[in-house]
Amino acid sequence: MSTAPKGLPSTIRHWIGGELVDAADGRTFDVTDPVSNTAYTQAARGAQDDVQRAVEAARAAFPGWSSISNRERARVLYRIADAVEARHDRLAQFESYDSGLPITQAKGQARRAAENFRYFADVIVALGEEAFRQGGEQFSYVVRTAVGVAGLITPWNTPFMLESWKLAPALASGCTLILKPAEWTPLSASLWPEIFAEAGVPAGVVNIVHGIGEEAGQALVDHPDVPLISFTGSTDTGRHIIRSSAEHLKTTSMELGGKSPVVVFADADIEAALDSVVFGVFSLNGERCTAGSRVLVERPLYEEFTRRLAERADRVRVGLPSDPATEVGALVHTEHYERVLNYVEIGKKEARLVAGGARPDHLTEGNYLQPTVFADVARDARIFQEEIFGPVVAVAPFDDESEAIELANATQFGLAAYIWTSDLKRGHRIAHAVESGMVWINSHNIRDLRTPFGGVKASGVGREGGAHSIDFYTESKIVHVALGDVHTPRFGAV
């Protein structure tokens, strides 16, 4: 049985206009932990009236927040980063308990979240604006202005860090905002109000509305005074948000699903590739959008690599999220757990199960699954085509470079890809041919905050990261100035 961390809130309330408030109609919903699957607190169940209050607060705060200097906003972001880091132990305990993430993996979230705020503070201060000169006749320059009230809808995997990934650039750009955290993992978001208050964020600049996606999230997407929506989550939900946003021609950024290939050639560093594959698909309980969940191995290496991958999967330590020895914890929610188990049963009919596929014997309750490996997976198999979002990997052979590219591209998704080969010319060829927004060659998923993040095809619309995030949260206006006499054709002159 997982031990609850100290200081759990009795109720997780909205944060609107700088105050903790209940839902307008008083409704709540249960929040459960993934080990006992019992409710340990309730959260305010937001709806249209709550979103309306939050939008009004954000609109009232927008003129003041957007008009201060970039340097002044950066100072606030630095203070937010300091306040986040000061709570790193508490944050990790909350995140692990609420989401089922192993505590050792949850401990990195505070540092990464703090770095997001520091990074975007630096970006907004250093970012210049473009200017153009047309000889001696005209000068043109670009002015950036904050879009307005931003709607941020975040997922349940590594929730706090992914919230910071949206909060930081939105605030740096001068937007005010409404954050709608994922209903399955709202606990760590309960730390934001005290962080923002400690950092001196003016009331109404950040507002948090908890609730169910179909209610609070939909109200946020539908609101005419929220011109911008940033969403991370499933492809189906992303499609729905884009359709709903069309009514008011909203700007959207969609970071959606993935079924990322790992292409392993026979000349690869096998040990490094194995380490990367095992970590990439089983860390964070396999609940990560960039997981390398399709492993494509050149045929001469296929049997050995598959056997060793299965052996490694069998040795992965599954256990209580609070145990520092745990490498895979409990899946986030019973609904998601049943979904993943269903895919495992589908996989048993489609391919050869070589590791896992069931609950570990020593864990009789909780949302646990032994890391699972399927071999000889056909390209039309559901476990090859559909995002499972759990500790499950599909392995298939290929015979040559062209088949590797074909298999890598043989899904609707295109978020990330990983290539392992000692032939760097081939690595670059594959990287350019694979349909994905991000590619790593001889590396696992190491992020640089300056780089664009996003996917192609069903994996998303738009890019965030670095200056791309500032572009998303701002409008660019071009101002043209005549430098000399203007010679305009005189239509209608006498």
Is the distance from CB of 449 to CB of 121 less than 8 angstroms?
no
Determine the Cα–Cα distance for residues 455 and 169; give it in Å rounded to an integer: 19
What single-letter DSSP state applies at residue 201? P
Is the distance from CB of 355 to CB of 375 less than 8 angstroms?
no
Determine the Cα–Cα distance for residues 119 and 114; give it in Å rounded to an integer: 9
Output b/e per residue, 445-458; b: 16+ Cβ within 10 A. beeebeeebbbebb
Q: Pick the catalytic residue: 95, 163, 215, 289? A: 289
Cα Dmax for the chain: 96
Kindly report the backbone phi and psi dihedral angles of residue 430, in degrees, each rounded to the nearest multiple of 5, phi listed first.
-65, -45
Q: Is 289 a catalytic residue?
A: yes
Q: Pick the catalytic residue: 163, 255, 350, 464? A: 255
Half-sphere exposure of 248 (CA within 13 A, CB side): 16
Q: Is 255 a catalytic residue?
A: yes
The first and second tokens of residue 73, run together, are 């906003």
- Residue 308: name the closest of 318, 297, 293 by CA: 297
Kindly report the backbone phi and psi dihedral angles of residue 404, in degrees, each rounded to the nearest multiple of 5, phi listed first.
-60, -45
Determine the Cα–Cα distance for residues 238 and 225; give it in Å rounded to an integer: 20
List Cα–Cα distances, 120 to 80, 165, 464, in angstroms.
Answer: 12, 9, 12
Determine the Cα–Cα distance for residues 201 and 453; give it in Å rounded to an integer: 27
Determine the Cα–Cα distance for residues 441 and 431; give it in Å rounded to an integer: 8
Catalytic amino acids? 255, 289
